[in-house]
Amino acid sequence: MRGFVYSAHPVRVVFGSGTVAQVREEVARLGGKRVLLLSGPSVRDAAQPVRDALGPLLAAEFDGAAMHTPVEVTGQALEVLAEHEADCLVAIGGGSTTGLAKALAVRTDLPQVILPTTYAGSEVTPVLGETDNGRKTTRSSPAILPETVIYDVDLTLGLPVAVSVTSGVNAMAHAVEALYAPQANPIVDGMALDAITRIARSLPALVDDPSDVDARADLLQAAWLAGTCLATVGMGLHHKLCHTLGGSFDLPHAETHTVILPHVMAYNAPAATEVMTRIAAALGTTDAPSGVHDLVVRCGGPTSLRELGMSLDDVPHAAELATAKPYPNPRELTREGIEDLLRQAWHGTRPG
Ligand code: NAD
């Protein structure tokens, strides 16, 4: 028997099609009267239904959200917020826009309503990663956790297929690592396995037809479940390695997760055999690491660090950084082992 401690994060979730229409009601529920609407360059148009639904509650807009939440962008948004005396934050976009909302909330204690358009899952976590002078730091606090998340599948229909695939695998990575986390528990296990099944069946369907609303809804629900896993238990080697590759080698977030996941699974498999069997069953395959690799290939996603622009010469340094401090992981972390993993990932070798 394995004991556990379970603690949930209180987020109100509104899920469906056309749910953007409820944003005004949800803002009012939080006592908001003057909204600052946050977005990024590629969701400016997708934000129109949010503007329409907010009506007179919309006080100001800031559409400069950027990857990795640079503090200078947060500073600019804070000025807009103060100038318009906003009392509530509404954000539409991916993890980058959610990051900006969280950065503002932790500085002002204003409530947040998030409308996600990717599958990163940040909207349900109390974690914020910020960059200052190129240095990324991460912190966690209840003030960072958004109060309300409105998932509207209609807002995700325009997300390009390539981004949908890598973002979907990013969500799968949260679910995979939750299953072998030291804090693993029955609720998180159930959410993680359901998320994996939904991602495995919805990604090929939406690659074949990006306007397939049922596939998009399946994937969006998986994003919520996987994000909740990420918020509830600790992550292992995969997230550590992706954090290192993103932070120190400037590799793109979701693409890096997509390339690395099958290789970390293959590395951890000998020390997590039961978990890998459950993941394989959820994927509808017999071997979990190669099953994820095959899914990525089927969906046209990236499979090698080489195609993401990383140099093979950087592998030893990356392995050194990723093993500098110990952290929980099913299999012991050795520098040689991680170097070998990264070499396989650089070449894009099929695991198994
Ligand atoms: P992102 O928000 O940068 O979005 C990815 C790309 O998709 C961007 O180019 C964006 O403009 C585009 N996009 C988003 N929605 C679109 C739409 N509807 N139509 C067209 N294009 C659209 O990236 P992401 O992968 O969602 O999030 C990554 C960021 O989130 C990273 O900074 C990562 O560290 C952070 N993150 C944080 C947590 C957490 O718990 N703190 C969890 C996951 C990710």
Superfamily of domain 161-347: Dehydroquinate synthase-like - alpha domain (1.20.1090.10)
pLDDT in tens, 34-92: 999 999 988 988 899 999 999 999 999 999 999 889 999 999 999 999 999 999 999 99
Answering whether pTM is above 0.90, one says: yes
| Cβ neighbours for 84, distance < 8 A, ≥ 6 positions apart | 34, 36, 59, 60
pLDDT of 134 over the 80 cut: no
Q: What is the pLDDT of residues 266-316, one digit of tens each?
A: 999 999 999 999 999 999 999 999 999 999 999 999 999 999 999 999 999
Long-range contact pairs involving 330-334 (C-beta distance under 8 Å, separation at least 24):
330/180, 330/236, 330/268, 330/271, 330/272, 330/275, 331/237, 331/267, 331/268, 331/270, 331/271, 331/272, 332/271, 333/237
| Domain coordinates in residue numbering, the chain | 12-156, 161-347
Give nearest CA residue, ligand 1 atom 28: 95
Give yes or no for residue 96 CB within 6 A of ligand 1: yes
Q: Is 158 in the pocket of ligand 1 (CB under 6 A)?
A: yes
Task: Tell me: ipTM over 0.95.
Answer: yes
Residue 175 CA to ligand 1 centre (angstroms):
18
Write the pLDDT tens digit of every residue in 155-203: 999 999 999 999 999 999 999 999 999 999 999 999 999 999 999 999 9
Q: What is the mean pLDDT of residues 200-220?
A: 97
For ligand 1, mutation pick of 38, 39, 42, 174 (most atoms within 8 Å of CB):
42
Whether residue 310 has its Cβ less than 6 Å from ligand 1? no
Is the shortest distance between the CB of 121 and ligand 1 below 6 Å?
yes
Q: If you measure from the C-alpha of residue 56 to the centroid of ligand 1, how many angstroms do you get, rounded to a whole number?
A: 28
332 has pLDDT over 80? yes
Q: Is the pLDDT of residue 29 over 90?
A: yes
- CATH classification code of 12-156: 3.40.50.1970
